[in-house]
Every structure is written in structure tokens, then in C-alpha cells.
Amino acid sequence: MIKQDYKSSSKRRTLLHEPIFHHIRLRWGEITAVAVGILLLGLALSSGEDELEDAGVTEEELAEIPQEERSEPVFTSDAERIPLAINWDSTSSSTPDVLEPERPPLPTDTIQRVSVEIKSGDTLSSIFKKQGFSPRDVYNVTQNKTAQSILRKIRPGKTLVFEASEDGTLEHLYYQLSVNETLQVTRVEDGFDAEVKKRPIEKRQAFASGIIEDSLFNAGKQAGMSDGLIIKLANIFGWDIDFVLDVRKNDSFALIYEEKYLDGEFIGNGEILAAQFINQGDVFRAVRYKDSKGDENYFTPTGKSMRKAFLRTPVNFMYISSNFNPRRFHPIQKRWKAHRGVDYRAPTGTPVYAAGDGKVTASSYNKYNGKYVFIQHGNSIVTKYLHLSRRAVSYGKRVKQGQVIGYVGSTGMSQAPHLHYEFVVNGVHRNPRTVKLPEAQPINKKEEPLFEQKTQPLLASLNAYQRLIANNSEG
């Protein structure tokens, strides 16, 4: 089961990158945001597959390491894999120097410094050996718990930096954990000390806005947004707006988001703090709020949760919107009455999501539906997903909202790759695009004053920015 999940997630990753990265050059800093976006879509990779075995660490020793120390900087590792698919342009080639480990000044005539890129199949022991260090050194370094917990999970493609004195004694070892964190191992009298050096990330607010001509994707790019930021924006409104079928020319968006800087250099986008989307004249606004328990979520300006029981779009819109054809909108909607479902035309392999939490009540094949999945949500609602090329869940399994349950295809009675989606309430087919659903829960009464206090300035800024843009474009 785990193996299967991994396979499907790596497949999704490949598919997702292809259309997005094909024709776009990214700034270095945006890559982190892309990685974040990919994670948001639930595409976090299984982290176990690429880890290297480390000699000398037993299961018992591992069990002693607290869980939080074992967890990996997933964002960074994803971010660092992505550049392989990208052609750097000359203006951005200088930025990866943030990857160089921070190190104390040392007299260079006595210290020899070697950077080793970790290859697939390497172990800590094999790398040490190749650099002329002994098994004793490996042992001594990994006696330090901090060093051990990190170095047992070194990854291909990352770098280990060794510094040795003139006689070949290992003095320092560096391993970069994330864009601003480096493990620094230092020889001391009775072994090695290790600590993770962390440089502070500065967050600045930025604003972006755009008017949609043909797709959210293109308008977002035009506004200077990274792919990750576009995905985040769509996810905020994904319970209210169907980004495949609802979006129209002249829809517009505006957002305030965080930009992250390290030593004054842009390294990537952070979270969206406030956003607005106008869809066919309807204004949707959202603001990010961290409640007193520390949970961060998006709310309407009056404090209702943006999160709802059903997603509007049961497919990944990023596969579709980049080659979006406005002519295709209306005919699809008109077809609803004829066949009691909504069709999403999308390339074969486009991930299909569970619209809400539920239980799989069918995962099967017949000559009409092709490969299909039905999900029961509570007592009264069933959603149906037909003509899949592949199913990703089996009968009886519980699924979470947004979980991939299959992939678009053209199996059964189908003429072109598409998802046929049905929404059934108490046995009656309803149009999922217009059906009234329960209102989202409002924010806790006790939180209201704090919510007001924290979110009003953001919403005011969003308004002010938009006025500024409007005035500039008029003049």
C-alpha cells in the first residue's frame, strides 16, 4: 500500500512539472514557493525512498532520537530537486550561493576544504573513506546525537563539506539542511560537537493583482506570481470557485503575500495574507488568521471559515488552465441536464480529487462508466467519478478532501479524456455547481476581537493597494 502511494505520488510529480516548467524560467527564489505549492496540493513525497543507509546507527539508537529531530526539511529537499528541470538564466545564476554553508573564518593555509556531492548509493562511511577519513571518524561524529540524527538521512544531490587540518585530521563537517539551516560539526577535545546554525529569514509584504484574459495561470504569471503562489491563491478560494469551469474573462484577483529574504536576498514566497477574487461579479475575500491555539486558516472578512465540506473542482486545474480555451466553457454547463453530471475535459493523467471527506463505496469497472469511484459523504451525499484511466483508492477506504482518488482517462462510454462528475443528495442527482451546501462554521466568538484586530489592517492594505493600482491605470 505504501509502495503504491509512493508510485502514484512520483507520477503526479512528473506530470505536474511538465506543463508548468516547460516554458517558464523561474527565479531561484520562486522555487521554494513552487515546492510549497506542490506540497499544498498534497504532493508531498514519501521521504523515505531517497535516504541513504548509514553504517553504524542501529534501530535502538534511532529509537532514542526524539521524533522532532528525525523529521526532515521536506520543503528544501523538494526545492533542491526541482532545479534539475530548469534552465537557469544568466541573471539568476548568482543566487544559489545561499547554499554555501556559513563557516567561521579559518586560517586557509592550514585547513583543507573539500566539498563532496552525495551520489546515489553513497553512505556516510563510503564518503568518509573516499575522503581519507577512518571508520573511527564516522563513529566519533555519529556519537553526537544531533549529528547522527541528521547525517543518517543525507540525500543524493546534497553536499557534505569537510575541513581537515594539515595532517588530515577532520576538524569540521558541514551539511546544509535548508536554505537557512546548516549542520555544523566541530572537533572538540573528547569527540565532536554539533549544532544546527540557523540564519533568520526576514518576511516582507508584497502585493500582486491581475485581470484574467484567458486563464488564472496566465494572469498570475503576468502579475509576476510564481506557480506556487498561483496554486495557493486557487486553494484559498477552491471551496467557492471552480477554477476549471467558473473562471471568465475579466475576472480579477488581488493579494498581499509574504516574500522571504535571507541576508537581504530574495529566497522565496511565504504565505498569502489576504486575497480577493472577483468571479463573474461575485466578490470573494479571504484573510489569513492564526488563532489562539496557533492554527492558521483563511476566513472571510466577517470571520467565516473559507473551508467547506466540498471542493468546487474535483480535478487539478493546473493541468487544464495553462491551455485553456474560453469557447469550451458554456457547452459543458449546458450538458448538465442531459446526463446528470458535469464533465471536466482534461488531459489523461490529470489527478482527480475527493471533493470531500468520505468513504469509498465503489472502485470498479464497467463498460459504461469505465473505471469509476463512488464516495459516500455522511449519510446523504454521494459523489461519483467516471471514465478514469486509473483508480487510486479501493473499496471501503476512507478518503480525505483533496486526496487523489484516480486520474482522468477515457475508459467506458467516453469519446475523449474527461472526468464525468456526479453529485447525488439523498438519491437525487444535483448540479454540483449550483447545489446549496451548509454554511461554513464562523470563527469562535471568543476569538472575534483578536480576529478583528489582526485582520482589519491587512484588509485595509489590500483595499489601499487596489485603489493605488486602479488610480495608476486610469491616469
> Contact positions toward Zn ion, by CB under 5 A?
341, 343, 420
Nearer to Zn ion, 244 or 272 (CB): 244
- Which residue type sits at 315? V
What is the dihedral sign for C-alpha 424, 428, 431, 435? negative
Smallest separation (angstroms) from Zn ion to the CB of 359: 24
**What residues contact 233, with CB distance under 8 A and at least 6 apart?**
216, 220, 225, 253, 255, 272, 275, 277
Burial class (CB in 10 A: 0-12, 13-18, 19+), 15: buried
Smallest separation (angstroms) from Zn ion to the CB of 311: 18
**Could you give the 3-state DSSP secondary structure of residue 92?**
helix
**Could you give the 3-state DSSP secondary structure of residue 131?**
coil
Nearer to Zn ion, 22 or 337 (CB): 337
Smallest separation (angstroms) from Zn ion to the CB of 418: 7
Fill in the DSSP letter of residue 99: G
Smallest separation (angstroms) from Zn ion to the CB of 405: 17
Nearer to Zn ion, 79 or 342 (CB): 342
Other beta carbons within 10 Å of 452: 13
Residue 272 contacts residue 216 (beta carbons within 8 Å):
no
Residue 52 contacts residue 118 (beta carbons within 8 Å):
yes
Place of cell 585547513: 111
Nearer to Zn ion, 114 or 416 (CB): 416
Nearer to Zn ion, 242 or 343 (CB): 343
Instruction: Give me 129's grid cell.
Output: 573513506
Smallest separation (angstroms) from Zn ion to the CB of 341: 5
Nearer to Zn ion, 316 or 414 (CB): 414
Instruction: Calculate ∠ Cα 401-403-406, nearest 5°.
Output: 125
Nearer to Zn ion, 153 or 420 (CB): 420
Smallest separation (angstroms) from Zn ion to the CB of 436: 22
Tell me how far apart the alpha carbons of residues 443 and 451 are, in angstroms, rounded to a whole number. Answer: 8
Q: Which residue is nearest to Zn ion (CB)?
A: 420
Residue 126 contacts residue 138 (beta carbons within 8 Å):
no
Nearer to Zn ion, 227 or 343 (CB): 343
Instruction: Label the pairing between strands 181-188 and 191-198.
Output: antiparallel
Smallest separation (angstroms) from Zn ion to the CB of 343: 4
Tell me how far apart the alpha carbons of residues 155 and 145 are, in angstroms, rounded to a whole number. Answer: 18
Smallest separation (angstroms) from Zn ion to the CB of 317: 18
- Which residue type sits at 3? K
